Chain A
Amino acid sequence: MEQRGLYQRYLNRFGWLCVAPSVFLFSLFMAYPILSSLYYVTRRWKGMANSFIGLGNFARMARDKVFQAALGHNFLFMAVQIPLMVFLALALAALLNQRIKRFRGPLRLALFLPSVTSLVVVSVLFRVLLQANGFLNNVLIGAGAIREPIGWLNDAAWAKVTIILAMTWRWTGYNMVFFLVGMQSIDPEIYEAAEVDGAPRIRQFFRITIPLLVPVILFSAVTSTSGTMQLLDEPNILTWQGGPANATMTAALYIYRQAFFVNADFGYATALSYVVVLISGLFAYIQMRLLGDNARSAR
């Protein structure tokens, strides 16, 4: 009995030993930053000096229309890009899942290929392709679709379209693979039964495939939402520092610029980042509820 207790203690100690390096790194690079941000958020920085301003940073935020607009852009990209991408990815997955065995492999490979590029590469490629005198404008002019070049990078409205285009190119194939995996795990007997009932394919898709895929769709929406909330690489490189005229400024990019680019205003930037955390947390909560409900109803 005594020995068994000793052995349990030995195992328990070994367990702690295993998790110790991770817990150490976690406290250093996650717990400490989170705790110390409580100090930063009450300070106002100017150069090397900083002073206490209490909730002043939040008062400043309430007046900061640039930041509010930046948050608005995050929401806009979520509202437009995610549905567009999910729709395309679903459609492509459904088409791939049909009886086209011979082409399925290469087509899937091709569609997935954009996922191997980094966001920096995507931004670089699209920034060059979308120059005023660049490839896409030349093709469109050549095809007679437009007469004047489109200001993909230069026009405040088109620049938003540019970001959406680049994100959609990068992520559609990636999400498509999720959906394809989901579709292939659906029991073929369900379709066979529907076939016997004479239900047309399109109806099978909406009545069987989509409902069974809801958890997967939700999951991809979840990851996309949290990614879009952190959007920074594309507006910084592709549309050049959130330009033109802040038209593609996002919350994360604005925080980066406040803390590391224009000034070193660590206090204000921390306060801004609290808002992003709050929104991310809210989204995570809603989505967990949705996913949870769905998992329950699926059972």
Chain B
Amino acid sequence: MSVVRSWTPGRLASVAVLAAAAAISVFPFVWMVIGTTLNPNDVLRGILAPGRELASNWEKATGMYDLPTFLANSLKIALLTVALGLAVNGLAAFGFEKYPSKARDRVFGVLLLTLIIPQIAIVIPMFRMFAFFKLLNTHAAIVLPSIMSVFIIFFMRQNFKMFPTEIMEAARVDGASELSILLRIVLPSMQATFASAAIYLFLGQWNSYLWPLITILGDEMKTLPIAMASMMSAYTIEYGALMIIVCVSVLPVLLLFLTMQKQFVAGLLGSVK
């Protein structure tokens, strides 16, 4: 069976279909990059040749709009969520899996049950709670509720299952404390799991919209998605500057994806819409 050279009509057709689908998938990216160089009217008309407005669009994105602040806010919030999320959820997954107890399993069952609760159903009491604690319009309001993730605990617990308990027993015999077993023995062998979980947490926070939309009031606190959304509902839209902000918001995720494809897909496939 010759692998490459037999170009039957059927295979030609399937490559053509795939290429068309790929083009549709990629086109908006190309178009948004070109858009950063165009004036607003040309962005709208969908001109596909680069223009000369990049500098002035950049000036608007950083002058009229505060792109550096939005980016810094998004990065700070997402990285904090990842750091705290890995610590809290990793610890919990470890505890649930490696220290089996009926009581804890019951707790785990309760956690799993709430996976079906949609976010919209809990934002009202959460808003009232953060208002009560005077934490509205702070980044803490965005980070705190997204640290603990039942899904991540579940995902990491599945992976902790694969770590042989015998090694832990052996370490105990050697007199290692439980914490040092976790940090020195278990963690180093779970890097892939943590990477996937980190990507999942990062994406969830980097892209989150509803909760920041509710809790952020001021410009200086805005994240990239909130900044883009409010640009779209501004009284006049600077489309060129908007395209720059869109590109900036897509770029880190794209880089993450291209450099860590395997963990990325593992992290993403775990996520729910």
Contacts and interface: CB of A to CB of B under 8 A. Distances in A.
A259 B14 contact: no
Contact of A15 (B99, B127, B257): B99
A237 B210 CA distance: 12
Interface string A42-84: 0000000000000000000000000000000000000000000
B265 to A, nearest CB: 6
B92 interface: yes
Nearest to B121: A273
A297 interface: no
B171 interface: no
A276 B119 CA distance: 10
A33 interface: yes
Contacts of B269: 177-178, 181
Given A37-B124, A99-B3, A111 B229 contact: no
B153 A22 contact: yes
Nearest to B215: A260
A167 to B, nearest CB: 9
Interface string B8-34: 000100110111011111101101100
A232 B111 CA distance: 25
Given A11-B178, A22-B89, A280 B225 contact: no
A176 B32 CA distance: 24
Given A12-B99, A37-B124, A118 B206 contact: yes
A119 B271 CA distance: 14
B18 A115 contact: no
A111 B24 CA distance: 9
B52 interface: no
B118 interface: yes
B194 interface: no
Contact of A120 (B98, B101, B150, B225): B225
Contacts of A107: 18-19, 22
Interface in B218-273: 225, 228-229, 232-233, 239, 242, 246, 249-250, 253-254, 257, 265, 268-269, 272-273
B120 interface: yes
**Size class of the contact patch on chain B:** 35 or more
A16 B78 CA distance: 28
Contacts of A211: none
Given A18-B99, A100-B14, A129 B31 contact: yes
Given A34-B117, A100-B11, A120-B225, A18 B92 contact: yes
Contacts of A227: 272-273
Contact of B232 (A106, A127, A259, A270): A127
A169 B117 contact: no
Given A33-B122, A270-B124, A284-B116, A111 B25 contact: yes
Contacts, number: 251
A22 B26 contact: no
B45 interface: yes
B147 interface: yes
Contact of B120 (A40, A224, A256): A256
B148 interface: yes
Nearest to A285: B116
B120 A111 contact: no
B80 interface: no
Interface of B: 3-4, 11, 14-15, 17-19, 21-26, 28-29, 31-32, 35, 43-46, 87-89, 91-92, 94-96, 98-99, 101, 104, 107, 111, 114, 116-129, 144-145, 147-148, 150, 153, 178, 206-207, 209-210, 214, 225, 228-229, 232-233, 239, 242, 246, 249-250, 253-254, 257, 265, 268-269, 272-273
17 contacts: A21-B88, A29-B126, A30-B114, A30-B117, A34-B122, A98-B14, A99-B11, A106-B22, A114-B28, A118-B209, A123-B232, A128-B43, A171-B273, A230-B119, A256-B210, A273-B121, A284-B116
